[in-house]
Structure 1
Amino acid sequence: MPPKKKSKKTKKNPEKNGTDLEEKYRRSTLDVAVLEDYVVFQCESVRKVQSDRSDLRRRVRDMEQRLQHERQDLRDISSDLSRQYKTMKADLTCKVRTLEEEVIQLREKLESCQEELRREKRERERVEQEKDAIITELQHKLDDMEIDCEKVLHETLDSLTSQLAAARRGWEDTSEALHRDYTELLCEFGLNALDV
């Protein structure tokens, strides 16, 4: 509060002066009470600020501890991940080496199989050529045998035909003689051969 200006007092009335004094005393008491409230308020504010500061320091300490724990966890996780990475890298390197060796073996096996296949193809072609030659030769023989069989068959049929013709002539002669004999015999009995 700003200091009050001193005013020149005129002593007019002692009662008025007493009332002024009482008024001033009341005002001073009120000012003191207001100042005391202000001081109490400021003390409480200071205590609250100190308490808040203490809480904040405690929270900062807790956060720093948590941060420290988080950093330690992060270092542990990073270390573990690094270890896992190295292990996986070693495993993958080993697998890659094994697979490369297997690829080399399989390529060699493939080349061997392809060479075997080429040999088998050449052998099959040779066998097919031999078979074709044998089939062609057998076909020629079969054609020759067919011609020979046709000749034999024609000769046999011609011979059989001439024999059948001769036999037929003999049977016809015999049948005509028999027919005449039976006709004469029927005539002797008085029968007509056409009726019978």
Structure 2
Amino acid sequence: MPPKKKGKEKSKGKKEKKKPADGNSLEEKYRRSTLDVEVLKDHLALRRDIARQAQACSHELKTRLSSLEQTLGEERDDKKAISADLTRQYKTMQTEMGVKVHQLEIEVSRLRQQLAACQESLQNERQERERITQEKDATIAELQGKIDNMETEYEKILHDSLDNLLSRLADTKMNWVKVSTALHLEYKHKLADFGLNPLDI
């Protein structure tokens, strides 16, 4: 539009400056004005096309924005639902874990008590075993002493008995030698009385 005004102003100025009888100048001005109008029309048509394209893009972008906002809203709702579900699961797991921890603490306490009782029982058993071992060792030592004393006594008794037996055997042998010598002499004399020589027999 400004070129039109400019053209008109120029044409007016030219009209005022030049003589009205100049027909070529008017034709040329008219031709130029017509050309300017065509150019302006083309320019306006181009701008209308650009505006339509911009409007179509704007509409498309608004549609996409609306779709994206809807998707975003759905995703937010999904996220909230997932977050709520995860929170619920977490609380449930936390409660279950607390119950398990409490149960395990009770179990650990019970096992510690059992362990303390077992250790005390084991200590008592060890002390009892040591006492029994000491008593057994003392009894064995006492019995070993008695056995040694009995061996000594029996050995002494055996030696005394053997000495007595040897003494009796020696006495008995002497008696038998005497008796046998007396019997030999008696039989020798009897054989001599019968006229027999004992050496020949």
TM-score by length of 1: 0.70
Structure 2 distance, partners of 1:65, 1:38, is: 40
**1:103 corresponds to:** 108
**2:58 corresponds to:** 53
The structural deviation recorded for 1:154 is 6.4
**Per-residue displacement from partner, 1:160-191 (whole Å, max 9, x unpaired)?**
9999xxxxxxxxxxxxxxxxxxxxxxxxxxxx
Runs of at least 5 residues in structure 2 that lack an aligned partner in the other structure: 170-201
**2:24 corresponds to:** 19
- Residues 144 and 23 from structure 1, CA distance in 2 versus in 1: closer, same or farther, beyond 3 angstroms? same
Superposed structure 1 runs of 4+ greater than 3 Å apart: 145-163
Map 1:79-158; keep pairs closer than 5 Å.
Answer: 79-148=84-153, 151=156
Structure 1 distance, partners of 2:46, 2:159, is: 151
The structural deviation recorded for 1:147 is 3.5
**Per-residue displacement from partner, 1:46-79 (whole Å, max 9, x unpaired)?**
1111111111111110111111011101101111
Structure 2 distance, partners of 1:20, 1:156, is: 186
Comparing 111-120 with 75-84, greater Cα deviation is found at 111-120
Higher relative contact order (CA 8 A, sep 6+): 2
Percent identity (aligned): 49
Establish whether residue 77 from structure 1 lines up as the match of residue 82 from structure 2: yes
**2:18 corresponds to:** 10
- Residues 134 and 9 from structure 1, CA distance in 2 versus in 1: closer, same or farther, beyond 3 angstroms? same
The structural deviation recorded for 1:158 is 8.0
Structure 2 distance, partners of 1:113, 1:9, is: 132
Comparing 37-46 with 1-10, greater Cα deviation is found at 1-10
SS at match of 1:11: coil
Structure 2 distance, partners of 1:119, 1:20, is: 139
Q: Which letter maps to 1:10?
A: K
- Residues 36 and 144 from structure 1, CA distance in 2 versus in 1: closer, same or farther, beyond 3 angstroms? same
The structural deviation recorded for 1:94 is 1.1
Q: Which letter maps to 1:23?
A: E
Structure 1 distance, partners of 2:158, 2:38, is: 160
How many residues are paired up?
161
Q: Which letter maps to 2:19?
A: K
The structural deviation recorded for 1:21 is 2.3
Structure 2 distance, partners of 1:98, 1:159, is: 88
- Residues 130 and 23 from structure 1, CA distance in 2 versus in 1: closer, same or farther, beyond 3 angstroms? same
**Per-residue displacement from partner, 1:114-151 (whole Å, max 9, x unpaired)?**
22112212211111111111121122134324534655
TM-score by length of 2: 0.68
